[in-house]
Amino acid sequence: MTETQFNNPFLSCDLKRYPLSKNESLRAWDAADELLLQHLFESHILHAESRLLIINDAFGALTCALSQYQPINRSDSFVSQYSCQRNMSSIENQVVYQSSIDELNSPVDVVLIKVPKTLAFLQDQLIRLKSVITPQTQVIAAGMVKQIHTSTLNLFEQNIGTTKTSLATKKARLILSQVNSQTEPQTLPESQWAVPEYNLTIVNQANVFSREKLDLGARLLLENLPKDHQSYIDLGCGNGVIGFRLQQLNPEAQIQFIDESYMAVASAKAGYQLNFPEGSQATFLVNNALTGLKPPVDCIVCNPPFHQQHAIGDHIAWQMFTQAKAMLKQGGEISIVGNRHLQYHSKLKKIFGNVRSIASNKKFVVLSSTK
Ligand code: SAM
């Protein structure tokens, strides 16, 4: 049985990784959450009036434990905030939810950051923080030792001020930064690059998948896209490159771009406006896969994710394929690309009862199933 009772010095609570998946073996918090809460408790940093900002809380552990301070929960992940809301549902206190691209405008006293996977995203978050921190603000980050490198600490030094780390406990460590108002102003690490063979320009905010170059799986899918449908969903759209190509191949089609990352959807929207200045049929949605969506669609195209937060797995792909079956019209098509070893072939066969191999190379395979 997975442990769900999250004991901590502030507010012990029942904590799960939402949306729930079968055979879940991982807890919804880690040793870095525990270390951070213990440090806050022992150092008496928080007071009744403290304005608290929590960044990158994966499933709601920090937000639930510290909910008496009515924190702001800021994240790039729709699914993380959904999980936090579900875990908060039996707790009376109020939380304010903000996306990673919302403007930060009121000053904060304490900022807690779970160290994200990529440096560019951390840099983006630290740059955005500058407008709301003062030399009195406490900035404390937490992560597992393997996620904290010299380059991570350098980012805190450059963007916040003098930085030190705690001793490691259960392979977790804290980063403590003293705010220095003299740090150099920096620009957000947004990247733009071209895909010349398709005459496309791609916009990538800091937390977008494969933000520096075209993903190799996406490349194979781009060469083998399904045509002649009237409506498409680019599911897990990232920067939107797949949907852009679909629009080029099917100028009259309605394309919907969906991702759980706010930065991904904002990037896809910016890229669409750049590549199709006259286009108006596209829609953009931040959502957990196809959850809650109703109208039937002709075709769903997807390069599925293979991890949620720091955990690797194929449960999101399963969720996407199963929801796609429900969402497609009769005779509709799903087209996906995946690493060969992920065995998407057998998953699609099981769900749709049919699967065709459209193209493959040493590493990837493009598959299609019909409802
Ligand atoms: N389509 C882009 C490409 O080919 O470059 C991105 C593909 S990337 C492998 C998978 C995408 O799925 C990521 O952008 C990720 O944010 C998104 N994703 C992960 N979990 C999701 C979920 N539950 N609902 C919607 N999108 C999700």
| Within-domain flag for 184 | no
Total of domains in the chain: 2
- Do 136 and 20 belong to one domain? yes
- Do 24 and 173 belong to one domain? yes
Query: Nearest residue CA, atom 12 of ligand 1?
Result: 236
pLDDT at 181 over 90: no
Of 152, 160, 153, nearest to 182 by C-alpha is 160
Per-residue pLDDT of 317-364, as tens digits, reads: 999 999 999 999 999 999 999 999 889 999 999 999 999 999 999 999
Among 316, 318, 344, 363, say which to mutate for ligand 1: greatest number of ligand atoms within 8 Å of CB.
316
Per-residue pLDDT of 98-140, as tens digits, reads: 999 999 988 999 999 999 999 999 999 999 999 999 999 999 9
330, 371 contact by CB (below 8 A):
yes
Q: Is 271 in the pocket of ligand 1 (CB under 6 A)?
A: no
| Within-domain flag for 185 | no
Q: Give the contacts of 154 (CB within 8 A, at least 6 positions apart).
A: none
CATH code, domain carrying 155: 3.40.50.150
Final residue of a domain: which of 178, 213, 247? 178
| Within-domain flag for 95 | yes
Domain of residue 90 covers 5-178
| Within-domain flag for 332 | yes
Question: For residue 315, how far is its CA from the centre of ligand 1 (angstroms)?
Answer: 13
| Within-domain flag for 42 | yes
Question: For residue 239, how far is its CA from the centre of ligand 1 (angstroms)?
Answer: 9
- Do 216 and 257 belong to one domain? yes
Q: Is 238 in the pocket of ligand 1 (CB under 6 A)?
A: yes
pLDDT confidence of 314, banded at 50, 70, 90?
confident
Question: For residue 208, how far is its CA from the centre of ligand 1 (angstroms)?
Answer: 9
235/259 Cα distance (integer angstroms): 7
Mean pLDDT, rounded, for 269-296: 94
Query: Nearest residue CA, atom 1 of ligand 1?
Result: 237
Q: Is 260 in the pocket of ligand 1 (CB under 6 A)?
A: yes
pLDDT at 160 over 80: yes
- Do 112 and 210 belong to one domain? no
Q: How confident is the model at residue 310, as a pLDDT?
A: 60
- Do 219 and 363 belong to one domain? yes
Query: Nearest residue CA, atom 23 of ligand 1?
Result: 288
Structure tokens at 220: 């194979």
Phi-psi region at 260: left, alpha or beta (left = phi > 0; alpha = psi -120 to 50): alpha
Question: For residue 317, how far is its CA from the centre of ligand 1 (angstroms)?
Answer: 10
Query: Nearest residue CA, atom 14 of ligand 1?
Result: 238
| Within-domain flag for 257 | yes
Bridge partners, 241 (sequence order): none
- Do 287 and 352 belong to one domain? yes
Q: Is 302 in the pocket of ligand 1 (CB under 6 A)?
A: no
Residue 19, preceding peptide bond in cis (omega within 30° of 0): yes
Query: Nearest residue CA, atom 4 of ligand 1?
Result: 218
- Do 236 and 362 belong to one domain? yes
Q: Is 79 in the pocket of ligand 1 (CB under 6 A)?
A: yes
